[in-house]
């Protein structure tokens, strides 16, 4: 791969082909480019605006270098967001993962520590007692034995160490902010993905279609949240049966009222862990439970465990009220700690 011609194309605001992007990001992840070269590529691409071909190629390169695990079922679900929305909510997609698992989905939750908020999925789970130091084979075993696992990004994407210092020093969003949800190490083919800008919903849906996903809902809340929000309508681009359509999800179709962002607020990892456990054990009701039910319903739709959002809400509520969702949380925490000391 020749670096200079590709950089020149980006500076000229010309999109790279998928193959060019894959080769370029493979070189980044292999450690073949220095920090100045990586910074130039990321900045030029962000200034131009990342194209679907570039995101798809970069995701393919990152997937190739990831440590992979093998689910025993084809329709594995991930509930994940890009982050970067600047929100102050509790860890909604993390809570949703356990509700979906309690409702019968096989969930490979991919996540990391916080990028922009105060608590990422890994921070929340760590404060719930999950052992982040478990190896990949242990999480493969958890997925196939208890139906849910947590895939801590640094464990599965070790090649990212070559880009990490540059991303940190740049301090702005780059294409790497988009790649996490596109590079699930279990190859999850069913996904509920939240994005930080409304125009990314269709881009992500088309990218995931090219990458082989089966059914995907990519969502963005009207308040900027990378979730389906309760404060008003959310934009959703859905990939189903090879077709992508975009529509709005209105919470008033399912709940009696909307809420304010403050009603959905979380805090630091300790506070968010308490909120997640409270929702799963049934002690927290109201808007926090409702936004969990709404997003869990969409995730069940994505994995073909619900016929509609309304049906998914009923099944998600049953997963909480029966104790099944909490059992998934407790089982995963116990599994991560027991297996680490065997």
Helix axes 35-48, 3-11, angle to 10 degrees: 30
Asked if residue 22 and residue 111 are part of one domain, the reply reads no
Domain of 106?
76-155+176-337
Tell me, what CATH number does 118's domain have? 3.40.1030.10
Asked if residue 295 and residue 211 are part of one domain, the reply reads yes
Asked if residue 95 and residue 49 are part of one domain, the reply reads no
Asked if residue 95 and residue 145 are part of one domain, the reply reads yes
- Number of domains the chain is built from: 2
Domain membership of residue 299 (yes or no) is yes
Location of structure tokens 């590529």: 41
Asked if residue 59 and residue 122 are part of one domain, the reply reads no
Tell me, what CATH number does 44's domain have? 1.20.970.10
Asked if residue 116 and residue 48 are part of one domain, the reply reads no
Model pTM score: 0.95
DSSP character for 197? S
Residue 1 pLDDT class (50, 70, 90 cuts)? confident
In DSSP terms, 109 is beta-bridged to 150
pLDDT tens column, 273-282: 999 999 999 9
Q: What percent of the chain has pLDDT over 90?
A: 87
Asked if residue 237 and residue 142 are part of one domain, the reply reads yes
Q: Structure tokens of 303?
A: 């994995």
Instruction: Report the distance separating Cα 166 and Cα 176, nearest Å.
Output: 11
Asked if residue 44 and residue 95 are part of one domain, the reply reads no
DSSP character for 101? H
Instruction: Report the distance separating Cα 174 and Cα 84, nearest Å.
Output: 11
pLDDT tens column, 196-254: 999 999 999 999 999 999 999 999 999 999 999 999 999 999 999 999 999 999 999 99
pLDDT tens column, 296-342: 999 999 999 999 999 999 999 999 999 999 999 999 999 999 875 55
Residues 6+ apart with CB under 8 A from 29: 61, 62, 65, 159, 160, 162, 163
Residue 173 pLDDT class (50, 70, 90 cuts)? confident
Per-residue pLDDT, 2:
85
Asked if residue 119 and residue 87 are part of one domain, the reply reads yes
Residue-by-residue DSSP string for 325-337: HHHHHHHHHHHHH
């Amino acid at each position: 791969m020749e670096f200079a011609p590709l950089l020149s194309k980006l500076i000229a605001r010309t999109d790279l082909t998928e193959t060019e992007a894959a080769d370029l990001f493979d070189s980044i992840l292999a450690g073949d480019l220095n920090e100045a070269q990586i910074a130039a590529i990321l900045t030029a691409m962000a200034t131009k605006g990342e194209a679907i071909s570039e995101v798809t190629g970069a995701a393919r390169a990152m997937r190739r270098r990831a440590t992979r695990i093998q689910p025993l079922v084809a329709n594995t679900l991930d509930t994940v967001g890009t982050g970067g929305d600047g929100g102050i909510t509790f860890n909604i997609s993390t809570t949703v993962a356990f509700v979906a698992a309690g409702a019968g989905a096989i969930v490979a939750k991919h996540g990391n520590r916080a990028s922009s908020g105060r608590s990422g999925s890994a921070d929340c789970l760590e404060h719930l007692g999950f052992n982040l130091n478990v190896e990949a084979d242990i999480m493969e075993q958890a997925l196939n034995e208890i139906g849910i696992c947590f895939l801590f990004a640094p464990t599965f994407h070790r090649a990212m160490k070559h880009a990490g210092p540059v991303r940190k020093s740049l301090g702005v969003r780059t294409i790497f902010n988009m790649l996490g949800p596109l590079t699930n190490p279990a190859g999850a083919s069913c996904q509920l993905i939240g994005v930080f800008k409304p125009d990314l919903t269709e881009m992500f849906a088309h990218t995931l279609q090219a990458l082989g996903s089966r059914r995907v809902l990519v969502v963005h809340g009207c308040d900027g949240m990378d979730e389906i929000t309760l404060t008003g309508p959310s934009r959703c681009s859905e990939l189903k049966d090879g077709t992508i359509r975009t529509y709005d999800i209105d919470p008033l179709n399912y709940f009696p009222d909307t809420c304010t962002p403050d009603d959905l607020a979380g805090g630091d990892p300790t506070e968010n862990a308490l909120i997640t456990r409270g929702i799963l054990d049934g002690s927290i009701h109201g808007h926090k439970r409702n936004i969990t039910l709404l997003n869990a319903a969409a995730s069940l739709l994505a994995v073909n465990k619900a016929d509609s959002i309304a049906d998914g809400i009923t099944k998600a509520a049953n997963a909480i009220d029966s104790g099944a969702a909490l059992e998934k949380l407790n089982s995963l925490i116990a599994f991560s700690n027991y297996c680490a000391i065997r």
